[in-house]
Amino acid sequence: MGVFDRFELANGLRVLTAPMPHAQSVSCFVMLAAGSRYETRETNGIAHFAEHMFFKGTERRPTARDIAGEIDSIGGEFNAFTGKEYTGYYVRCAAETRDTALDVLVDMLRNSLFDPEEIEREKGVIVEEMNMYYDTPRDFIGGVYEQLLYGDQPLGWDIIGRKETVRGATRETFLDYTGTWYRPARMVVGVGGQLGNGLRERLEELLGDMPAGGDGAPAAVAGNGAGGRVLVHTKQSDQAHLVLGVRSRPLVDPDRYVLQLLATVLGGGMSSRLFTEVRERRGLAYYVYGTNHAYTDAGSLYAQSGVDINRIDDAVTTIAEQFRLLAEEPVPSDELEKARNFSKGRFVLQLESPHGTIMFGLRREVLEGKAEEPQAVLDALDAVTAEDIQRVAREIMDEGPYLAVIGPFDDASRFEKLLA
């Protein structure tokens, strides 16, 4: 018996459920295959800005206080998130208040006022959020790296947008964006936990009359990024932040689980190669980790760290060496098993709650068109061999690494020499 059930409303809107009868709560989601990748240069930041505006009031609940008050009245939690390829909105609550949660959630997404005065006020909030983002190198370095990797196209732009595009947004900007992409073909409702009775009927009432549509896709990744191997963002600081990585594979790739274990060996957890070598043995950094991040048509395996500005050259060469070793030498069997068990254990922990379970399924359903069963993921991790890891490491590292740096530096060539 599977973890997920799936059905469609009459207009084609998909519904994914994760029944957990023992739970006392329910997590209600609406997730969309729409994010900052679906913007133009003139509307960069509108996906994230729209996420804010959906909480500001509807015809039935005219203010943000009215919306928040109704969720507070059932003891629920609600929030949202915007990525480059998907956006999600959710309410977590006690199972018996499911219908209230769904009603508020759908009302926000279908009937938001996008009041011009609220838009103008929220522009100041977004700009301050930008300032916080730019003043936090540990967060901002990821954007610098993706600018290096993807260049002047949506995958290379910051999700939060640019100050000039945010300040230029109008009510029509929001209506155009949501009218194009917030449509049934791109939308998945997810409900996990104690589902209760009459869920299909309730969703037909709330969403069944939405006009079908929402086909289309963003432009494919084009070109080879910003040019060059190194991008330096000059900023006076006491610590340098860096991301060093290589291009890997798209989200749906036969070697996706090989890449997951490759990233785990490299930098997953406090006994990984990067943590051991960079922090424990050499004392070069407080934090360091490695991960593989994939989009539907692109991906990157990378390491991120915050390091002593006076020892950044050592940090770069040490991290680059760990990448090279994965291509040159097979991972020992005991290290592979540790990485396998680490990945499986973290995955199982994610699925312990209704919220985590439905989030996992929704990401797959929205981006890949199918929610893979958890057991299939565990089986795929079990099938990965040391030979697989070395083969994929050789293939993706053949092109050479890229390096993004934030710190008191203005000369990219000094870092290019380290990567040669």
14-19/285-294 β-pairing: unpaired
Geometric angle at alpha carbon 87, from 83 and 90, rounded to 5°: 125
Give the pair of three-digit tokens for residue 214: 């929402």
Selected catalytic residue, list 51, 70, 122, 146: 51
70 given a catalytic annotation: no
164 contacts: CB under 8 Å, gap ≥ 6: none
- Residues composing the chain: 420
Give the pair of three-digit tokens for residue 352: 């312990």
Question: Among 137, 195, 158, 217, which residue's Cα sits nearest to residue 15?
Answer: 195
How many Cβ atoms are within 10 Å of 350's Cβ, its own excluded? 14
CB distance 113 to 66 below 8 Å: no
Question: Among 250, 138, 220, 230, which residue's Cα sits nearest to residue 419?
Answer: 230
CB distance 162 to 40 below 8 Å: no
Question: Annotated catalytic sites, by residue?
Answer: 51
